[in-house]
Amino acid sequence: LAERAIKLCCRYLCRSYSNASDMEAREEIHVASCMAGIAFNSAGLGLNHGMAHQLGAMFHIPHGRANAMLLPYIISYNSNIVDMTIPQEHYPACVKKYCEIAASLGIINFNEVSTVRSLMNYLKILVREMDMPCCIEDIGTISKEEYFAAIEPMAEAALLDATTKTNPRKPTKEEIMAIYRDLWDFERTEI
């Protein structure tokens, strides 16, 4: 269900966004939403949602927007490939899943590292195509001082969030704080 929901979103989300009268696209996004809800009811969500909950609570960022902004960072964190440029013998299990998701979307590269990075870049492109902010600074209503002062309490709350418990990689408070810091300025952060 989750994989089918991902495919539907990648196929129809931009269409639905760019043309509100495209009933086929809207219906398919509705179906994707229902499938995703059924899937996460069984499988759980993970760190992405745990951190997004805190962004919504502290800064009233809509949940879907917060999730979209965070997703490339969380894929990078979970896959733990950010500093690797060559294939390794063993990856975290989620790397295989990310590669399977990428392949199902037609994103195939010459190794696991480049495939996961391509998936992250694809997601960043989707966010930009729908005129969504890519980072907290892009929102324009939150000061840097206000945001950075909230990072530690948000990280503590994200660590305790029930959805974080099902993340494939167990984060520390410091790792969550680092992701929140990186989320401030998209252009200066290398994912």
* Cβ atoms within 10 Å of 102's Cβ, excluding its own: 22
Model-wide pTM > 0.85: yes
**pLDDT value at residue 139:** 93
Of the chain, the percentage scoring pLDDT greater than 70 comes to: 93
What digits encode the pLDDT tens for the residues 153-183?
A: 999 999 999 999 999 999 999 999 999 999 9
Residue position matching structure tokens 């398919």? 28
**Residue 86 above 70 pLDDT?**
no
**pLDDT value at residue 107:** 92
CB 167 within 8 A of CB 47: yes
Helix boundaries (H) for 80-134 = 93-104, 112-129
**Residue 53 above 70 pLDDT?**
yes
Contacts of 114 (CB under 8 A, 6+ apart): none
**pLDDT value at residue 82:** 60
**Residue 151 above 80 pLDDT?**
yes
What digits encode the pLDDT tens for the residues 3-46?
A: 999 999 989 999 999 999 999 999 999 999 999 999 988 888 99
Contacts of 88 (CB under 8 A, 6+ apart): none
